[in-house]
Amino acid sequence: MKFVNEARSNKELMIHIDGKAFQPPNRILSKDQLLELAGLDPKEYEIVLIDGEGNGHQIDSDEGLELQDGMEFRVRHDDGL
């Protein structure tokens, strides 16, 4: 994971969560911030990064994830509740 200056312009940065497009407020967001961006409660949901081959990678860290244009995420309900 690479950290960058959050003040850098992200006007053209667009990510997708469950097929919906979002323009994040910063280039670096935590898993909780990603879920909140999608209007979901981080205590009830998990988020998975979908790579270019369609494989899912669970986002477990509360550290910031450097976002790149076009990143795809899927959300699933946390069944561990």
pLDDT at 12: 80
Classified as helix, coil or strand, 1 is: coil
pTM, full prediction: 0.81
**Residue 34 per-residue DSSP state:** H
User: Measured at the alpha carbon of residue 37, what is the angle toward residues 1 and 7, in degrees to the nearest 5?
Assistant: 55
Residue in the block written with tokens 């309900």: 77
The type of residue at 62 is: D
Residue in the block written with tokens 């409660």: 41
Classified as helix, coil or strand, 75 is: strand
Q: Which of 42, 22, 23 is nearest to 31 (CA)?
A: 42
Residue 51 pLDDT class (50, 70, 90 cuts): very high
pLDDT tops 70 at residue 5: no
